[in-house]
Chain A
Amino acid sequence: MSHKHDVNKEIENEVYCGTLPVLPKERKYGFMDALLVLSGYCIATWSYTQGSYLATLVGFKQLLIGAFLAAIFMLMVYQLPVILSVRYGIDIWIWLRSVFGPKGNKIVTIIIILVNFPWYAVCCELFADSMENLLGLFGIQLFNGAHLVLSLSCVVVGTIIALRGVGTITWTTRILVPLLLLVGVAVVVVGFTSVPMDVIWNYQPELAGDADKTVNYVLTIEANFAFVITLVGGMAEVPRLCKSEKSGYYAGVLGQGAAGSFFVVVGAVMAIAMQYVTGQMVDDPTLMMATLSAPILGLSSLLLVAFANIGTQAVGSYIYGVMLKSTFKKISYKTLVLVLGVYVALLCVWGKITEYFGSFLTIGACVYAPLAALLFVDFFLIRKQKLDLKSAYELPGHNAYQYSKGFNIVGIICLALGFGFTLVIYDPIQGIVHNKILFMLTPTLASFIFTGVLYLLLSKIPGIRRYIRRDTYASPDKRPFDRAKVPPRQNLFFLPLMWLLCKMTVSPYKLKIDKHNMEGIKPPFLVYGSHNSFMDFYVTPLALKPYRANYISELEGFENFGEWIYRQAGCLGTRKFINDQSLIRNIARVIKRGDIMVIYPEARYANVGTNSHLTPSIAKLAKMLKVPVVTLNMQGNYLQQPIWNLKERKGARLHADLKCVVTADEVGKLSVDEILERISKELTYDEYKYQLENKIVIDDEWRAEGLHFPLYKCRKCGKDFAMTSYGNKICCKHCGDTYEMDELGQLHSLTGEVIHIPDWYEWQRGFVHEEIREGRYKLDIPVRVEALPNSVNFVDCGVGRLIQDNEGFSLEFDNYRSEKHETLKFPAKSMVSLHTEYDYRGKFGPCVTLSTYDDTFFIYPTEESRDVFNPTKIQFATEYLGGLYS
């Protein structure tokens, strides 16, 4: 009992220490150490099986190319991610949690063991063959079924050794590797001395009549790809002990590509020599030495090979037992080793593992090739050589790799499709080539490329990218967005698709577009549109059809939908409420090349369906560009999806007026004020008035939910941030004053008073102005800050402080660029308004944004400030202080 306890304790310790990140000072291996350890793992009696298998397919020269160059080529590529193991001191099983999720990783571990463990059945078969052949040489006949008994005895003894734990395994390995080297040397000497050199060098296999030499060569390359790729499972724990990335990488490449391949060639030499002498190709070194030299040498080698096979079986059971233990912590090591033993025993009972050696190699590679591709692409192209280690170790509060209940659906789908792709090319069981062109790449390489490209392309889709890159905070892309980049024209091939999408989106809302004064107006011209909701981006292209246009878009949209798509749609990226000279230059470029430039001058969605004041800068821009000015006033877009509750209201009806308000002739003659007046007049709107006048019924039961964000002040008791909303009601949490929203967008008090929502909204603004005038206004609260430097990702800037007073904003936060806790000032007069959100992407609730040229800071309340953080009030103060309403 005490021994069992010790073994379990040893294994627990091994598993625990085996999964911990290895610190630099604990690293043991230089290049040579790692090379020897990995070479030792790659050298096993199955190398002879591989060598003799290759000799049945191709001549010796092609065999050499396959064994060395194919192995090295594949290793050079798929060993590259080993760099991460060295850098972080972790094995790939930890890293794979980021690719498949912790639970998905368990499934992948089981699959890997299922496809890998037949190697050990090969060892048991070789052990049985050796025994039978040698006993036969001495004239001893065995009973029927003796082969199975012998192979099972190898399983049993190997399993018993594995069950004895780390100490026994260490000794086994110390004896095993020199023994195998000794056998290898003996085979080389006997093989090359017993047949003439040119017999081996000029060897060509006798192929069946229908055999294709090219197909056989490809199968050789495939077998070598598969041979090296399927050994990665057992080698995965070594690189993390290396002292440098280069030593870990090249030790992996050469351990398999040179030492492992050398023994494959030795196996081939042995098989060729045996065929030359006896006419029979064998993969058993014992038989070969007994036949080609002296029986006594065969007998000695029997002992070596027998022990080697048992030892390999024992080491394999141990390595995979520990690997399983680290994944399935609750199951005892003993049980896991016994399960592995049973699996190998079943393969021995089946008895055809040697016959189907090539098939099982390819099936193994079918799994490993996509796995290797996922690791490669994930490391270099998606995570850019960074991993969130705390999430990989599932530490509390670090859940980036939990994905969908512990499964990364994208990674798992890619693995499955990569596996299926191989089968589409080649049937490894029947040996049938389905697609000869792709087969020329070899099934393993084709699957590697297919899976890698698929994973990479999927990662470019913004929604998927956000799903698989939940760890961006650990390694964000900090490069600032290139605002000066010349915007492409709207893609002509993309345009019909865009119109179709727009048409489909607006069709439930019966969009009607009226055009006024548009006769003879052709691009280039400037369009100023009202801005109510995302629906604006669907209505505008339809209103401007058949012309293409360019649009100004906040960078956040680029991040949300992907830069490539936004560029195809003709978007110019910018940040809100900054003096962006690059944007002006790009607008001028768009007009100069004869296109339409669409600008939403309010630069923010309407909070309650009414327009914001416009600034003279838009009229100055029109005068500078000297092109006609067209306004697009869209109605119903706000009603369909108000910013304070983004659920779509099916009852909304859309209408748009496209009108030329300043012709090319007039733009030079009219003053800035006159142009501004014309634009402002046409872009004046009141969505609730439009709803009431057109009797647009919106009867969704939840129609008032969220209305307390813009209507934050109680009309009765005057308390700020006291309002709440549910269903079709908005009420005060403090005094209980309640209003019901009717189906035409009017609010009714319990006393029968009818309230027009924009009136309530503007009533609040007056109080903020008063607070500021009387010097009472000051916001000083803790906030959570995220920066958006580019179209790729947000960067966590920690918890800071937001202060707003008569001087403007002061934002204190962790500046990721300087890596210091800093304060940025945003003078009041530098911004006429502020971007606000009421529940930004369901992340942390309401937010406001402040921008510099290279960053947009998304500012959210903390738990402490949630009750006093209201974007609407902050916006009112900003607009007053910035001069928009003074």
Chain B
Amino acid sequence: MNSENEIESRIDEILKAEKQNTIPRMTKKDYIIAAVITVVSLLGIIGGFFL
């Protein structure tokens, strides 16, 4: 029962932190950079077929 209360109070705190953006989110820019790295890696892999 205590552990359930502990989990519940932690979840409430986490959800509050989510709303307040306490843990910095991945930004649109971060996602774009990730996409670029992914595409470059893919092109590199494709290039490997021609070696």
- Which of A's residues lie within 8 Å of B, judged by CB? 16, 20-21, 23-24, 27, 59, 61-62, 65-66, 69-70, 72-73, 76-77, 80, 83, 86-89, 214, 217, 221, 243-246, 249, 389-390, 393, 395-396
What are 12 A-B contacts with C-beta separation under 8 Å? A24-B17, A65-B47, A77-B38, A83-B26, A87-B25, A88-B18, A221-B48, A245-B30, A246-B24, A249-B30, A389-B11, A395-B4
Taking the nearest CB of chain A, how far is it from the CB of B46, in angstroms? 10
Q: Are B10 and A20 in contact (CB under 8 A)?
A: yes
Inter-chain contacts of A69 with B (CB < 8 A):
41, 44-45, 48
Taking the nearest CB of chain B, how far is it from the CB of A299, in angstroms? 39
Does B32 touch A at the CB level, under 8 Å?
A: no
Q: Are B7 and A395 in contact (CB under 8 A)?
A: yes
Q: Are B26 and A16 in contact (CB under 8 A)?
A: no
Q: Are A389 and B15 in contact (CB under 8 A)?
A: yes
Most buried by B among A61, A69, A77: A69
Instruction: Specify the chain B residue showing the minimal Cβ separation from A88.
Output: B14
Instruction: Specify the chain B residue showing the minimal Cβ separation from A220.
Output: B48
Taking the nearest CB of chain A, how far is it from the CB of B3, in angstroms? 7
Complex-state Cα separation, A200 to B25, whole angstroms: 43
Inter-chain contacts of B41 with A (CB < 8 A):
69-70, 72-73, 76
Instruction: Specify the chain B residue showing the minimal Cβ separation from A19.
Output: B7
Instruction: Specify the chain A residue showing the minimal Cβ separation from B5.
Output: A395
Inter-chain contacts of A16 with B (CB < 8 A):
3
Q: Are A24 and B22 in contact (CB under 8 A)?
A: yes
Q: Are A89 and B45 in contact (CB under 8 A)?
A: no
Q: Are B10 and A396 in contact (CB under 8 A)?
A: no
Inter-chain contacts of B22 with A (CB < 8 A):
24
Taking the nearest CB of chain A, how far is it from the CB of B5, in angstroms? 10
Q: Are B24 and A21 in contact (CB under 8 A)?
A: no
Inter-chain contacts of B3 with A (CB < 8 A):
16
Q: Mark B32-51, 1 if CB is under 8 A from A, else 0.
A: 00100110011011011101
Taking the nearest CB of chain A, how far is it from the CB of B44, in angstroms? 4
Instruction: Specify the chain A residue showing the minimal Cβ separation from B26.
Output: A245
Q: Are B45 and A73 in contact (CB under 8 A)?
A: yes
Taking the nearest CB of chain A, how far is it from the CB of B40, in angstroms? 8
Complex-state Cα separation, A23 to B17, whole angstroms: 9
Taking the nearest CB of chain B, how far is it from the CB of A853, in angstroms? 28
Inter-chain contacts of A65 with B (CB < 8 A):
44-45, 47-48, 51
Taking the nearest CB of chain A, how far is it from the CB of B17, in angstroms? 5
Complex-state Cα separation, A722 to B37, whole angstroms: 70
Q: Are A73 and B42 in contact (CB under 8 A)?
A: yes
Q: Are A244 and B23 in contact (CB under 8 A)?
A: yes
Q: Are A87 and B45 in contact (CB under 8 A)?
A: no
User: Within the complex, which residue of B4, B18, B30 is in contact with A87, where a contact is CB–CB below 8 Å?
Assistant: B18
Majority-rule SS of A interface residues: helix
Instruction: Specify the chain B residue showing the minimal Cβ separation from A74.
Output: B41
Inter-chain contacts of A245 with B (CB < 8 A):
23-26, 30
Q: Are B7 and A23 in contact (CB under 8 A)?
A: no
Inter-chain contacts of B45 with A (CB < 8 A):
65-66, 69-70, 73, 221
User: Within the complex, which residue of B11, B23, B26 is in contact with A390, where a contact is CB–CB below 8 Å?
Assistant: B11
Inter-chain contacts of A389 with B (CB < 8 A):
11, 14-15
Contact size class for B? 20 to 34
Complex-state Cα separation, A65 to B46, whole angstroms: 10
Q: Are B37 and A72 in contact (CB under 8 A)?
A: yes
Taking the nearest CB of chain A, how far is it from the CB of B16, in angstroms? 10
Q: Are A393 and B48 in contact (CB under 8 A)?
A: no
Inter-chain contacts of A87 with B (CB < 8 A):
18, 23, 25
Inter-chain contacts of A249 with B (CB < 8 A):
26, 30, 34
10 shortest interchain CB distances as A-B pairs: A73-B41, A69-B44, A65-B48, A244-B24, A76-B38, A389-B11, A69-B41, A24-B22, A245-B26, A21-B10
Taking the nearest CB of chain B, how far is it from the CB of A547, in angstroms? 48
User: Within the complex, which residue of B8, B34, B47 is in contact with A80, where a contact is CB–CB below 8 Å?
Assistant: B34
Inter-chain contacts of A77 with B (CB < 8 A):
38
Q: Are B13 and A23 in contact (CB under 8 A)?
A: yes
Taking the nearest CB of chain B, how far is it from the CB of A647, in angstroms? 41
Taking the nearest CB of chain B, how far is it from the CB of A19, in angstroms? 8
Complex-state Cα separation, A76 to B42, whole angstroms: 11
Complex-state Cα separation, A221 to B46, whole angstroms: 10
Complex-state Cα separation, A72 to B38, whole angstroms: 7
Taking the nearest CB of chain B, how far is it from the CB of A58, in angstroms? 8
User: Within the complex, which residue of B4, B14, B42, B48 is in contact with A62, where a contact is CB–CB below 8 Å?
Assistant: B48
Q: Are A217 and B10 in contact (CB under 8 A)?
A: no
Q: Are B26 and A395 in contact (CB under 8 A)?
A: no
Complex-state Cα separation, A23 to B8, whole angstroms: 12
Q: Are B47 and A393 in contact (CB under 8 A)?
A: no
Instruction: Specify the chain A residue showing the minimal Cβ separation from B18.
Output: A87
User: Within the complex, which residue of B14, B25, B48, B49 is in contact with A21, where a contact is CB–CB below 8 Å?
Assistant: B14
User: Within the complex, which residue of A70, A217, A246 is in contact with B49, where a contact is CB–CB below 8 Å?
Assistant: A217
Q: Are A246 and B48 in contact (CB under 8 A)?
A: no
Given A76-B41, A89-B14, A243-B24, 15 new contacts (CB under 8 A): A24-B22, A65-B45, A65-B47, A65-B51, A66-B45, A69-B44, A72-B41, A73-B42, A86-B23, A87-B18, A221-B45, A245-B24, A245-B25, A246-B30, A395-B8
Complex-state Cα separation, A290 to B8, whole angstroms: 58
Inter-chain contacts of A244 with B (CB < 8 A):
23-24
Instruction: Specify the chain A residue showing the minimal Cβ separation from B38.
Output: A76
Inter-chain contacts of B24 with A (CB < 8 A):
243-246
Q: Are B23 and A24 in contact (CB under 8 A)?
A: yes
Q: Are A393 and B38 in contact (CB under 8 A)?
A: no
Inter-chain contacts of A243 with B (CB < 8 A):
23-24
Complex-state Cα separation, A62 to B47, whole angstroms: 9
Taking the nearest CB of chain A, how far is it from the CB of B14, in angstroms? 5
Complex-state Cα separation, A61 to B44, whole angstroms: 11
Q: A73-B41, A76-B41, A80-B34 are in contact. Are A393 and B7 (CB under 8 A)?
A: yes
Taking the nearest CB of chain A, how far is it from the CB of B47, in angstroms? 7
Complex-state Cα separation, A725 to B42, whole angstroms: 67
Instruction: Specify the chain A residue showing the minimal Cβ separation from B48.
Output: A65
Q: Are B23 and A20 in contact (CB under 8 A)?
A: no
User: Within the complex, which residue of A20, A24, A27, A217 is in contact with B48, where a contact is CB–CB below 8 Å?
Assistant: A217
Complex-state Cα separation, A217 to B42, whole angstroms: 14
Instruction: Specify the chain B residue showing the minimal Cβ separation from A474.
Output: B15
Inter-chain contacts of B6 with A (CB < 8 A):
20
Inter-chain contacts of B38 with A (CB < 8 A):
73, 76-77
